[in-house]
Structures are given as structure tokens and as C-alpha cells.
Structure 1
Amino acid sequence: MDNTIYQSMKSAIQLLENQNIIANNLANISTNGFKETFNVFIKDKNENNLYKTQTKKYYNFSEGLITHTQRKLDLVVKNNGWLVIKDQNGKDAYTKNGHLQINAQGQLTIQNYKVVGKQGDIKIPHNVNVKILSNGTIKEIENKQNNISEKIIGSLKLVCFKKNDLIQKDNGLFYLKKNRFNQNLKVLHDNTIRVQSEMLENSNVNPTKNIVDMISNARQFDMNMKMISMYDQNIERANQLFNVNN
């Protein structure tokens, strides 16, 4: 294959991958705790002194805008802290989405995924008032004849990671990267992580930037397609000339 077509096709494929990431960012503008994703294209010289382009995925872990909801089961996990949930396969996954719900079985969930507590799944008794302390402890509040009593129901499992330790999968959840150091590692609760209740962290996606990037990607993709089309036309004309001369 001619190098011109090869490079144009390779560039077009990379642009399509980038377009999918941008589209996913825009689709999750309203998803609580969502972290913006972007591709970075890096050019390196190989052993033959030729340039090779590599694509690396990065995440914007900056905090999104904070909304005061005044809902007892909403919370923000501060700094590098994460909530632990069980995905559809029962594996530990991590999220910044603090919009907690109670399912029909009384289990604490986030987006229908079970929330993991320090001692396992957390169940909330029916029709009780709860509050979540800054250390993740969940208490049942009961008011009888002006006497307020508090009872601990459970405690959230809060963990802390370095930014480069996590990778996001297609379900939108983050997972710990596997390597020879952590493949058998059990992630423990981190007592230093703090939460703030009655608040939610919004998505940190910048819609204006992503729309501009999407338009730019589309134009670059069209340019690559035109280059391939022009090359095909030139080859066809060259063949016609060759046939006439013979």
C-alpha cells in the first residue's frame, strides 16, 4: 500500500477513535462525578528512524462543580478519594458519583451497583432517617418525644489512589490497573479520606471545548478522506494514460 494512503487511513482511524471519546464525554455532561477523557497522540522515532504515532488515553481528574442538594444520601468524596462499588461481574470498581440510592432490598447502591462498606454490603432499614458523617459512617437518626438517638448502620469503604493507578472501562467505572505489584493486592479502607454530605460533584466535562474538538476532528477526517479519494483518482488517470500510450 502506498505510504500516502497508509498515513491518511491511519490518521482517519485515530480521529474516529478520538471522536468516540469526545462523544462519550458530551453524553456524560450530566453524569455525577464523571471524569473527562481525552487522547494524546505521541510521535516517536523507531529503530529505522521512522516516525510512529502512539495513542495514549488520559483522564482529567480535576473536581467538577459542587451542587448543594440538601439530600441526606448525596455526598462528595474529597481529593483523591473514591467510593467502592461492585460491578455487574462482582468485581470492585471505583467511582466519584456520590448519588446514593436504596434499592428494593434495602441495599445501598450507585447507578444500580451495590456500594461496598468496610464490612461488606450496606443495608438501610425501611423508613429511617440517616446521616453520613465525614468519615463515611452512616447513622440512623431517631427522634422520639424530643429525644434524639443515633445508631450506626454501617460505614462506606473509602479508598485512595494515585491518578496513574486507575483505568476507565466501557461501563464508565474506574478500575485499578493490573501489574506485577498489585495483581494480588487487596485495597484497604483509607481512614484519611473524607466525604461531605448533602452535596454532589458534577461532571467535569467542558462542553464548549469538546464541541470545538469534535468539529475540528470532523474536518480533519474529511481532509484525510479527500486525500485518499484524490490519490485514487490520480492512480486511475495514470492507468488510463498508460493504457493509451500502449
Structure 2
Amino acid sequence: MDRMIYTAMTGAKNILEQQATTAHNLANVSSNGFRAQIDAFRAVPVLSEGLPTRAFVVDSEVGSDFTPGPLHETGRELDVAIPGAGWLAVARGNGSEAYTRNGSLRINENGMLQTESGLNVLGDGGPISVPPNTTVSIAKDGTVSAIASNNTPPAVIGRLKLVNPPQDSLLRGADGLFQTRNGQAAESDARVTVVSGAVEGSNVNVIEAMVNMISLARQFEAQMKLLQNAENNANKAGQLLSLT
């Protein structure tokens, strides 16, 4: 009976965590470049002085679905999307390098090329600075050119740092950006290309997420019924012991 309590209690707890993950995915259906989170669970025996007859459920690791999202044409020159595998390198506030698929870029008041959340976009030589009174053009290979208004030839001001580290070496941070597990900067990959005038949408499947949410709710109810059964069994066992 106590084994049932351990299993049902920890199962219900982790189902609630999985529901939170699914709700987080649904909340980011419209977030550009978002990668859906995936929960993985495993059973762990409870080690004690007695035999390991009890087990509980633990969340082994929160993974990510790296399936590419759909590309949406915007016609905006500062929007870039990465078809297939690859990442856009950005600099966090603490100076560390992170990676994103959200290519909706902007130029701040200081002329720095940034993401829409205000992070500097990294080039092969560091952050990219755009000269004043110019427009920006981004080529397929990530080359960033500045075009002046006086019809002078475009001037290359940098190249986007495009990387493609192995998926199992990436770890999602609390800010939603990805980084390498060892904290080292990934090498640029010339095979990664971009599409200008488009952004990548979220890869969250709304229908699948809603069905999963309903399934999790039913699983939680089943765990609660197991706990109720355990309580009823304990009460009946107490009654029998009191009669003897």
C-alpha cells in the first residue's frame, strides 16, 4: 500500500510539472523561433535499510524539440530566418554567447544590430555596428551590408555568426536562449544560410499540445484515485486490526 502512495504521489507531482511545460509551450505558439519543451521521466527506487520495494517518479531532464518551425514572409529587411539546421549567435547581458532562432532584428539608437529583446547580434568579429543614415541588407550567407542614401555602393559591415553545434550539446537557459553545455562558444558554420525578409515561427503543434493537456488531466485524476484507494485500504485495515 505504501508503495502505491509513493508511486501515485510522485506521479501526480510530475504530471503537474508536465502540465506546466505544456501550458508554457501553448503560451509561446506565436513566439518566433520558439522550440517546444519536452519532459522526460524515470522511476527511481527508494533506498533505505529495508528492501528497495518503493519507487518514485523524477523528472530526469527537460529536453527540447528541435524540429524547424514554419517560415513566414514579412518583407522586412531586418528579418532573417534560418532554413533547416543552424542558430543565430547573440550576446547576453553578462557577455556570454547564446543562440536563438528568432531572427526578428532591429537597430537600436546607438546603431547596434540587436534582437527584438535588446540583445546584441554577434558577427564573426563581435557585435555588428551599423553606420548612421544607412539601410541594412543581409545576404544569404549572413553578410550584412550598409547602403547609404547617396547611391554609393553597399559597404560590408560584418557577417552574422551562424553556428550549428550538435543538438545534444545544447542546453536551454532560463531566458529561453540556448547555450552549449560546456559553456564554450560554438564555431561558425559556413553551411548555415539565412532567408532575408522572413521569420521562423514556433514549432509548437497546438492540436497536439491541447490533446496532451487533456491526457495529462486524466492521468492526474487516475493518480488521485490511487491515493484515495490507498487511503480507503488503510482505513479498512485499521478497522480489521481494531476488531482483532
TM-score scaled by length of structure 1: 0.86
**Given that residues 42 and 56 in structure 1 are in contact (C-alpha distance below 8 angstroms), is that contact kept between their aligned partners in structure 2?**
no
What are the superposed Cα offsets for residues 60-106 of structure 1, whole Å, 9 maximum, x if unpaired?
A: 21221111100000001232211111223321111111001222322
What are the superposed Cα offsets for residues 103-141 of structure 1, whole Å, 9 maximum, x if unpaired?
A: 232221112212111111112233421100111111111
**Given that residues 14 and 57 in structure 2 are in contact (C-alpha distance below 8 angstroms), is that contact kept between their aligned partners in structure 1?**
no
Aligned AA (1:81) = G
Compare 208-217 and 87-96 and name the one that shifted more: 87-96
Deviation at 1:53, TM superposition (A): 5.9
**Given that residues 78 and 194 in structure 1 are in contact (C-alpha distance below 8 angstroms), is that contact kept between their aligned partners in structure 2?**
yes
Aligned AA (2:70) = L
- Give the Cα–Cα distance (whole angstroms) in 2 for the partners of residues 186 and 175 of structure 1: 8
Q: What is the DSSP-based 3-state SS (H/G/I as helix, E as strand, rest coil) of the residue aligned with 1:191?
A: coil
Q: What is the DSSP-based 3-state SS (H/G/I as helix, E as strand, rest coil) of the residue aligned with 1:239?
A: helix
Deviation at 1:49, TM superposition (A): 9.6
- Give the Cα–Cα distance (whole angstroms) in 2 for the partners of residues 142 and 126 of structure 1: 9
Q: Determine whether 1:84 maps to 2:89.
A: yes
Q: How many residues end up aligned between the 2 structures?
A: 238
Give the aligned CA root-mean-square deviation in angstroms: 2.6
Aligned AA (1:221) = F
Alignment counterpart, residue 159 of structure 1, candidates 163, 167, 171? 163
**Given that residues 80 and 161 in structure 1 are in contact (C-alpha distance below 8 angstroms), is that contact kept between their aligned partners in structure 2?**
no
Q: Determine whether 1:28 maps to 2:28.
A: yes
The structure-2 alpha-carbon separation of the partners of 1:44 and 1:9, relative to structure 1 and needing over 3 Å to count, comes to closer
- Give the Cα–Cα distance (whole angstroms) in 2 for the partners of residues 22 and 61 of structure 1: 16
Aligned AA (1:37) = Q
2:227 matched residue in structure 1: 228
The percent of aligned pairs where both chains have the same amino acid is 36
**Given that residues 67 and 202 in structure 1 are in contact (C-alpha distance below 8 angstroms), is that contact kept between their aligned partners in structure 2?**
yes
Q: What is the DSSP-based 3-state SS (H/G/I as helix, E as strand, rest coil) of the residue aligned with 2:157?
A: strand
- Give the Cα–Cα distance (whole angstroms) in 1 for the partners of residues 144 and 193 of structure 2: 13
Q: Determine whether 1:97 maps to 2:96.
A: no
- Give the Cα–Cα distance (whole angstroms) in 2 for the partners of residues 171 and 24 of structure 1: 13
1:74 matched residue in structure 2: 79
**Given that residues 25 and 204 in structure 2 are in contact (C-alpha distance below 8 angstroms), is that contact kept between their aligned partners in structure 1?**
yes
- Give the Cα–Cα distance (whole angstroms) in 2 for the partners of residues 127 and 235 of structure 1: 78
Compare 19-28 and 32-41 and name the one that shifted more: 32-41
Deviation at 1:33, TM superposition (A): 0.7
- Give the Cα–Cα distance (whole angstroms) in 2 for the partners of residues 191 and 77 of structure 1: 13
2:147 matched residue in structure 1: 141
- Give the Cα–Cα distance (whole angstroms) in 2 for the partners of residues 53 and 11 of structure 1: 6
- Give the Cα–Cα distance (whole angstroms) in 1 for the partners of residues 220 and 95 of structure 2: 40
Compare 196-205 and 165-174 and name the one that shifted more: 165-174
**Given that residues 166 and 176 in structure 1 are in contact (C-alpha distance below 8 angstroms), is that contact kept between their aligned partners in structure 2?**
yes
Aligned AA (2:181) = K
Aligned AA (1:77) = I
Aligned AA (2:73) = H
Deviation at 1:44, TM superposition (A): 9.0
**Given that residues 26 and 209 in structure 2 are in contact (C-alpha distance below 8 angstroms), is that contact kept between their aligned partners in structure 1?**
yes
Aligned AA (2:212) = D
**Given that residues 138 and 153 in structure 1 are in contact (C-alpha distance below 8 angstroms), is that contact kept between their aligned partners in structure 2?**
yes
**Given that residues 80 and 162 in structure 1 are in contact (C-alpha distance below 8 angstroms), is that contact kept between their aligned partners in structure 2?**
no
**Given that residues 11 and 57 in structure 2 are in contact (C-alpha distance below 8 angstroms), is that contact kept between their aligned partners in structure 1?**
no
- Give the Cα–Cα distance (whole angstroms) in 1 for the partners of residues 156 and 187 of structure 2: 21
Alignment gaps of 5+ in structure 1: none
Alignment gaps of 5+ in structure 2: 46-50
Aligned AA (2:157) = I
Compare 93-102 and 159-168 and name the one that shifted more: 159-168
Deviation at 1:241, TM superposition (A): 4.4
Alignment counterpart, residue 130 of structure 1, candidates 127, 136, 140? 136
- Give the Cα–Cα distance (whole angstroms) in 1 for the partners of residues 234 and 180 of structure 2: 50
Deviation at 1:231, TM superposition (A): 1.5
- Give the Cα–Cα distance (whole angstroms) in 2 for the partners of residues 222 and 78 of structure 1: 42
1:211 matched residue in structure 2: 210
1:65 matched residue in structure 2: 70
